[in-house]
Amino acid sequence: MGNRKINWRRAAFLFGGWTLVSVIFAAVSFAAAIGENNKEFGFVSALRLNLVQFYLWAILSPLLLRFSRRFPIEFRPLNLRNLLLYFPALISFAGIHQTIHLAVLWSITPRLRRQFPDLIDCYRAYFGFGFYIDLIIASLIIIAVHALVYYQNFRASELAQSSLKARLAQAQLKALKMQLHPHFLFNTLHSISSLVLEDP
Return d(Cα 8, Cα 13) in angstroms, integer: 8
Domain of 67? Answer: 2-172
Note whether 102 and 94 are within 8 A (CB).
Answer: no
Note whether 60 and 100 are within 8 A (CB).
Answer: no
**Domains: count for the chain:** 1
pTM: 0.72
Residue 82 lies in a domain: yes
Q: What per-residue confidence (pLDDT) applies to 92?
A: 94
Note whether 131 and 90 are within 8 A (CB).
Answer: no
Residue 98 lies in a domain: yes
Q: What per-residue confidence (pLDDT) applies to 110?
A: 84
Residue 18 lies in a domain: yes
Q: What per-residue confidence (pLDDT) applies to 148?
A: 87
Q: What per-residue confidence (pLDDT) applies to 76?
A: 75
Note whether 118 and 150 are within 8 A (CB).
Answer: no
Residue 188 lies in a domain: no
Q: What per-residue confidence (pLDDT) applies to 79?
A: 76
Name which of 69, 65, 46 is nearest 57 in CA terms. 65
Q: What per-residue confidence (pLDDT) applies to 24?
A: 93
Average pLDDT for runs of 10 along the chain of length 200: 69 88 90 82 86 91 89 79 89 94 90 88 90 93 89 89 87 75 66 66
At position 37, the amino acid (one-letter code) is N
Residue 199 lies in a domain: no
